[in-house]
């Protein structure tokens, strides 16, 4: 039964997923187990995305489906969910850029791969990144940017991290539409990730996970 939910979610069978969740809740099953199955289902979605089997539409759709599952389960939860996370990542689109399609893909993939993601949104000033990294102690900072204004903004953000004296405590990765290795060097980031899978690989490498 529990295996079903994992696969139904991974296969994006929305009606069956919601029906099964209701059935299991009605049967008095531990809601945490349902959430755990959902997490496993989303992990498969992430894997299929990494394997070019799924693309953005499937991520969007599965995300909506998960939201609906969570809504159903929430009233039945007695304790907060605690899952072991691989590590914290602070992420956002740099100042002067309001794009977030790529950002959201990376967040999705980091999340399903076990990272605790702090999303600061778009057009994020350098100080906001500095403050969030300090506050969370996150060892990883992800800077997203789509257009050319991001080149300077990324450089300025890395400089702000340096000026705050925390550059040695945080690894910085950059990614997005018009970026490449050259901008990673230009901005003095630690790495450029070509896509969301690269971001996950970089983050895993930095926290020493497989």
Residues in the site for other proteins, rule: CB under 8 A?
12, 14, 52, 54-57, 60-61, 64, 95-99, 101, 123, 147-149, 151, 177-180, 182-183, 186, 195
Which CB contacts under 8 angstroms, 24+ apart, belong to 13-21? 14/61, 14/65, 14/68, 17/65, 17/69, 18/65, 18/68, 18/69, 18/72, 21/69, 21/72, 21/73
Decide whether 44 or 170 has the Cβ nearer to other proteins: 44
Q: At what angle do helices 14-26 and 56-73 cross, to 10 degrees?
A: 20
Nearest distance, CB of residue 82 and other proteins, angstroms? 29
Nearest distance, CB of residue 113 and other proteins, angstroms? 18
Nearest distance, CB of residue 93 and other proteins, angstroms? 11
* Cβ–Cβ < 8 Å for 140, 189: no
Nearest distance, CB of residue 208 and other proteins, angstroms? 28
Distance CA(145)–CA(154), nearest Å, equals: 8
Tokens, residue 203: 């983050």
Decide whether 2 or 178 has the Cβ nearer to other proteins: 178
Tokens, residue 56: 């953005």
Decide whether 28 or 57 has the Cβ nearer to other proteins: 57
Nearest distance, CB of residue 100 and other proteins, angstroms? 8
Q: At what angle do helices 196-207 and 31-50 cross, to 10 degrees?
A: 120
Decide whether 129 or 151 has the Cβ nearer to other proteins: 151
Distance CA(150)–CA(95), nearest Å, equals: 7
Q: Which of 40, 2, 39, 194 is nearest to 105 (CA)?
A: 194
Decide whether 47 or 134 has the Cβ nearer to other proteins: 47
Direct distance between the N- and C-terminal alpha carbons of the chain, in angstroms, rounded to an integer:
30
Nearest distance, CB of residue 139 and other proteins, angstroms? 27
Decide whether 161 or 197 has the Cβ nearer to other proteins: 197
């Amino acid at each position: 039964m529990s295996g079903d939910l994992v696969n139904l979610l991974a296969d994006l069978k929305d009606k069956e997923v919601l029906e099964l969740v209701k059935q299991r809740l009605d049967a008095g099953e531990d809601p945490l187990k349902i959430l755990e199955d959902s997490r496993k289902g989303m992990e498969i979605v992430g894997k299929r995305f990494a394997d070019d089997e799924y693309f953005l539409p499937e991520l969007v759709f599965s995300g909506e489906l998960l939201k609906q599952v969570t809504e159903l389960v929430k009233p039945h939860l007695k304790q907060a969910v605690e899952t072991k996370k691989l590590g914290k990542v602070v992420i956002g689109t740099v100042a002067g850029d309001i794009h977030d399609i790529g950002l959201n893909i990376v967040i999705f993939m980091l999340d399903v791969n076990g990272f605790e993601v702090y999303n600061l949104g778009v057009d994020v000033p350098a100080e906001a990144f500095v403050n969030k990294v300090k506050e969370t102690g996150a060892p990883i900072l992800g800077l997203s940017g789509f257009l050319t204004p991001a080149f300077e903004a990324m450089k300025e953000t890395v400089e702000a991290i340096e000026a705050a004296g925390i550059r040695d405590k945080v690894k910085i990765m950059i990614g997005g539409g018009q970026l490449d290795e050259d901008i990673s060097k230009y901005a003095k980031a630690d790495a450029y990730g070509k896509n969301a899978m690269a971001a996950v690989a970089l983050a895993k490498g930095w926290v020493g996970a497989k």
